[in-house]
Amino acid sequence: MSTPRSADYVVVGAGTAGCVVARRLLERTGATVVVVEAGGSPDGIASSTDPARWVENIGAPHDWAYSYGPEEHLDGRTLFLSRGKVLGGSGSTNALVWVRGHRADYDGWAAGGATGWSYDEVLPYFERAETVDVEQTTDLHPVARALIEAGVSYGMPYLDDINVAEPLGAGPITMDVAGGQRTSTWTGHLRPVRDDERLTLLTGVEVTGLCLRGERCTGVRVQTAEGDVEIRADREVVLCAGSINTPRLLLSSGIGPAAQLREVGVDPVLDLPGVGENLQEHPIIAGLCFEAAEPLPAPTHNLEGSMAFWHSAPEVAVPDLTYVSVQIPYVSAEVAATHPVPANAFVLAPGLMSVRSRGRLRLTGNGGLDIVANMLADPADLEAAVAGVEIGLELADQPAFRKLVTRRAAPGAATDRASLTAFVRQAAMPYFHPVGTCAMGTGDAAVVDPQLRVRGLEGLRVADASVMPAITSANTNAPTAMIAEKAADLIA
């Protein structure tokens, strides 16, 4: 197919957000839409369609394969950062948990200046996004069942639906699955309309820059077999390239902190200090590892199947911790090096879900990216993560887990605060939830306004996980789909 030279809308990236935006623009407007996606189709890729094989997506050819670090507060470790490079984006490669987050997340966005994004205002968009099939897990693996039983005997409520407004407690999860196969915004939103004559879906094509004329974004530059081509957007360009590549495109097009851009040889076009700043990520502690007493059955669901939401301290109002029990010995390389991990083992993994630490991404002079999540930089985050491990050890000591376990492989015998703090710095891994690098708001640090328009430019919006002003207190895929649903309303 030859590359079209113009359309009403150009959507950059067909990931979780891009597939929704494109579908809704086709439905709501009579407009033509070009979607440019760097990756190809996930449809024949087993790791992308079979839920229990999702971990094989990490580092696969359809992964952008970024990294965080060195992370100063994690003993200088460098951490792999997976991002899907495929139709459906990270939603075609992720761990398939569909969870909206807590009412307070969105009320917090609205209170901080994101007018129109309170929980009550975004709820209809979650509901609309859920026309993609999602299912609750049943027939749980013994390790998944044990997490729920242990949570309840520890004192947590049983949580029969993780998508209530204020999730607290332990229960089965909702997954992006139908008939045993992964669903995504690709399968649910864009694939069904791919033959629409108003849609041009370019795959294997990377957007390399934005075309700017005065204060207007007029289109994008793409690299194709025909060479560098400009695609004009008669109405708008919508950036849906995700929390790493959306700010990367803005920065390389001269939109960002002017002094920083000059340092790496990019002529600033618009001084927008927030681009690439405010990066937030959830640390997952990988992990509290237990040798199983009996051979464990083959993994099921997404290797987890259940989840718990809890507080790191009684006075923490919104649950800031989650727990998953992973049906394989999922531990960081550093934990594996110091705590020999048996084959027949499982992991209890605390996740820190509300974070004060902020990272950032920058261009390097040679066209690369320097991304630092700064995980656990804020002492409060470190303290909450250590509390998460302490509570995790108490959960593991409940009868439901005790009967499954012969011995603990990690952490070691010493469980004083200093030892667990050292363990956390070695065990923390990213949940692969980067957000916030093009934050929505009204202050100087905001990159987009509450209508998702890039501040200071016409014809350019961002609609993806990068616009979250603050990370949600659960996984980030459903909130991204919600953002895309609302974006389509704002555009159309």
Which sequence positions are flagged as catalytic?
433
Tokens of 361: 């991404």
Least Å distance, CB 412 to ligand FAD, is 29
Nearer to ligand FAD, 55 or 146 (CB): 55
Least Å distance, CB 365 to ligand FAD, is 20
Least Å distance, CB 225 to ligand FAD, is 15
Least Å distance, CB 417 to ligand FAD, is 30
State how beta strands 270-271 and 255-256 pair.
Answer: parallel
Nearer to ligand FAD, 351 or 392 (CB): 351
Least Å distance, CB 184 to ligand FAD, is 9
> In whole angstroms, what is the distance from residue 310 CA to residue 463 CA?
30
Residues 6 or more apart in contact with residue 53 via CB below 8 angstroms: 46, 47
Nearest to 471 by CA among 278, 246, 276: 278
CA angle in degrees (0–180, nearest 5) for 298-301-303: 65
Nearer to ligand FAD, 106 or 423 (CB): 106
DSSP states of 68-117 as a string? EEEEGGGTTEEEEE--B-BTTGGGGTS--B-----HHHHHHHHHTT-TT-
CB contact at 8 A, 173 and 136: yes
Nearer to ligand FAD, 100 or 408 (CB): 100
Residue whose token pair is 């509290």: 288
Tokens of 415: 């469980």
Least Å distance, CB 80 to ligand FAD, is 10
CB contact at 8 A, 277 and 374: no
Nearer to ligand FAD, 53 or 235 (CB): 53
State how beta strands 283-285 and 428-430 pair.
Answer: antiparallel
> In whole angstroms, what is the distance from residue 168 CA to residue 156 CA?
8
The residue ranges that bind ligand FAD (CB under 6 A) are 12-18, 36-39, 57-58, 82-86, 89-91, 93-97, 206-207, 240-243, 245, 249, 432-433, 464-465, 475-478, 480
Give the residue closest to ligand FAD by C-beta: 15
Q: At what angle do helices 119-129 and 103-111 cross, to 10 degrees?
A: 130
Nearer to ligand FAD, 94 or 218 (CB): 94
Which amino acid is it at 490? Answer: L
Nearer to ligand FAD, 89 or 171 (CB): 89
Least Å distance, CB 245 to ligand FAD, is 3
Which amino acid is it at 138? Answer: T
Q: At what angle do helices 477-491 and 16-28 cross, to 10 degrees?
A: 30
> In whole angstroms, what is the distance from residue 349 CA to residue 447 CA?
34
